[in-house]
Amino acid sequence: MSTAIALRGIRKTYGKNTALDGLELDVAEGEFFCLLGPSGAGKTTTLKTVAGLEQPDAGTVELDGKDMRGVEPYDRGVAMCFESYALYPHKSAYDNLASPLRSPRHRLPAAQARERIGEIAELLGISALLDRPVGRLSNGQRQRVALGRVLVRPARAFLLDEPLSHLDAKLRQQMRAELKAIGAVQRTTTLYVTHDSVEALALGDRIGVIRDGRLVQTGTREEIWYRPSDTEVARAFGRPRINLLPGVVTQDGGFRSADGTIELPVGAQAAPGTDVLIGLRPRDITLHGPGHELTGTVYVTEVLGRSVEVTVRLGEQQVSLVAPRSDTTGLRPDDPVRLSVRPENLLLFEADRPERPGRRIETR
């Protein structure tokens, strides 16, 4: 697999604000790559830099191995879906979809264009809306038109900027499933930007986590899930959030919580006495399963459909876990409980510091 999109040491500043700070990124041919990060992390800037809409202050953008410096956006052959949709408000849905097909670079004969637009509209379920002016479409409909404008034309890469963010939860879930199923998307290299980790996990062949203009971690969803590079990445994925308990590394490489109530053998590859955080994902803690055992008392329970979130007090700390409903019947606040966690599911991090989140420490 060759590299379709490559960013090398991209720097971009707006006045005093640094948007991208030496960003490195590789997206393979045909890959669906999700860029995940909070707002302001530089996601949109990354997309626009790839598209040639923003000029990087330093670094290079390569598409299919060719340096794109000085190449105008319309010559880069990429299609982009903007977070704001950027539909032409003075035109109908049809004309918006037809816009690329009427441009000098992607021109199709009118009849052929009509056919192509019909297909795409069909695919996105907007056939009935084509004559409407954009101003009279709902957000969801606009979203689809915007997506349609990207799909209607051939492109060497799709750049999608939070294309599902303005949709309500149900529609978003539905679209998420549909998007992956679209043939064009399956075939074409796609760089997809989102702030929603669920979306990233569901869609991305690979995921890049961006923070403060840098890529902190790239990998498959398993790599991101099981080997998060630091506490921030760990916190970004999974709901309820990962439990992070403070403590120190003991003489034998184990973990002891700050109040001494929890001790777990983890085989930390760090000097004894180092301040660390131990990470336990709520879904990795069981009430009666195998693994290390911890005892505590129930603090509060909250029903989440078929499973239940239980918050347990362990000494001065609290951890949450998600258990099947059947396992939790009869649990009342202040009831004593015994929790277990498998050693391979334990994650160990350096303690967070003001200037950066704690990095993961290898365990044996």
Partner 1 sequence: MGWRLTLRPYVLIVPALLLTCGILYPFGLGLYYTLFDFSASKPQPDMVRFENYETVFTQEAFWNSAWVTVLYAVGAAAVETVLGVAVALLLHRSTIVGRVLEKILILPLMIAPVIAAIIWKLMLQPSVGVINYLLKPFGLGGVQWTDTPTGALLSSIAVDVWVYTPFVAILALAGLRSLPTSPFEAAAVDGAGWWYTFRRLTLPMLWPYVLVAVIFRFMDSLKVFDIIYALTEGGPGDSTVVLQIRAYLEAIRFQRYSFGISYTIVLWAVVYLAAMVLVKHLGKIQRKAAEVAAK
Partner 2 sequence: MTLRKRLSGWLADAALILYFVFALFPIAWMVILSLKPTNQLFSTYFSFSPTLDGYRTVLGDSEGIPFVRFFVNSLVVSLGAVALSLLVGLPAAYASARWRFKGSENLMFTLLSFRFAPELTVIIPLFVLYQKLGLFDTYVGMVWVLQLVTLPLIVWIMRSYFADLTPELEQAALLDGYSRKQAFFKVAIPLVKPGIAAVSLLAFIFAWNNFVFPLILTSNEAQTVTVGALSFLGGDRPKYNLTAAAALVSVVPPLLLALTIQRYLVRGLSFGAVKS
Q: Summarize as ranges the residues that interact with partner 2 (CB under 8 A).
A: 48, 51-53, 72-74, 78-80, 82, 84, 86-90, 99-100, 103-106, 149, 153
Both structure tokens of 198: 């669920």
User: What CA–CA distance (Å, rounded) separates 178 from 148?
Assistant: 13
Interior/surface letters 93-115, b for 16+ CB within 10 angstroms, e for the rest = bbbbbbbbbeeeebebeeeebee
Query: For residues 69 and 136, which CB has a smaller minimum distance to partner 1 in the complex?
Result: 69
Query: For residues 52 and 208, which CB has a smaller minimum distance to partner 1 in the complex?
Result: 52
Beta bridge partners of 292: 341
Query: For residues 107 and 342, which CB has a smaller minimum distance to partner 2 in the complex?
Result: 107
H or E element at residue 310: strand 307-314
**The tokens 């954009």 sit on which residue?**
134
Under 8 Å between Cβ of 307 and 325: yes
User: What CA–CA distance (Å, rounded) separates 86 from 71?
Assistant: 22
Residue 328: CB minimum distance to partner 2, A: 49
Task: Choose among partner 2, partner 1, none what residue 55 binds, the Cβ cut-off being 5 to 8 Å by kind.
Answer: partner 1
Closest-CA residue to 203 (of 231, 234, 182): 182
Both structure tokens of 137: 């479409």
Residue 275: CB minimum distance to partner 2, A: 45
CB half-sphere exposure, 205, CA atoms < 13 A? 16
Per CB under 8 A, contacts with partner 1 among 41-80 are: 55, 69-70
Query: For residues 70 and 305, which CB has a smaller minimum distance to partner 1 in the complex?
Result: 70
Residue 58: CB minimum distance to partner 1, A: 12
Residue 52: CB minimum distance to partner 1, A: 10
Both structure tokens of 40: 């302001």
Pairing of strands 206-211, 243-249: unpaired
Burial of 125 (0-12, 13-18, 19+ CB in 10 A): exposed
Query: For residues 15 and 183, which CB has a smaller minimum distance to partner 1 in the complex?
Result: 15
User: What CA–CA distance (Å, rounded) separates 215 from 197?
Assistant: 15
Residue 12: CB minimum distance to partner 1, A: 14
Task: Choose among partner 1, partner 2, none what residue 79 binds, the Cβ cut-off being 5 to 8 Å by kind.
Answer: partner 2
Task: Choose among partner 1, partner 2, none what residue 183 binds, the Cβ cut-off being 5 to 8 Å by kind.
Answer: none
Task: Choose among partner 2, partner 1, none what residue 86 binds, the Cβ cut-off being 5 to 8 Å by kind.
Answer: partner 2
Task: Choose among partner 2, partner 1, none what residue 106 binds, the Cβ cut-off being 5 to 8 Å by kind.
Answer: partner 2
Under 8 Å between Cβ of 85 and 78: no
Task: Choose among partner 2, partner 1, none what residue 70 binds, the Cβ cut-off being 5 to 8 Å by kind.
Answer: partner 1
Task: Choose among partner 1, partner 2, none what residue 69 binds, the Cβ cut-off being 5 to 8 Å by kind.
Answer: partner 1
Under 8 Å between Cβ of 244 and 277: yes
User: What CA–CA distance (Å, rounded) separates 238 from 338?
Assistant: 23
Could you tell me how many residues of this chain bind partner 1 (CB under 8 A)? 3
Query: For residues 69 and 288, which CB has a smaller minimum distance to partner 1 in the complex?
Result: 69
Residue 7: CB minimum distance to partner 1, A: 17
Query: For residues 151 and 207, which CB has a smaller minimum distance to partner 2 in the complex?
Result: 151
Residue 50: CB minimum distance to partner 1, A: 16
Residue 195: CB minimum distance to partner 2, A: 18
**The tokens 């099981």 sit on which residue?**
226
Task: Work out whether 104 is an interface residue with partner 1 (CB under 8 A).
Answer: no
Per CB under 8 A, residues contacting partner 1 are 55, 69-70
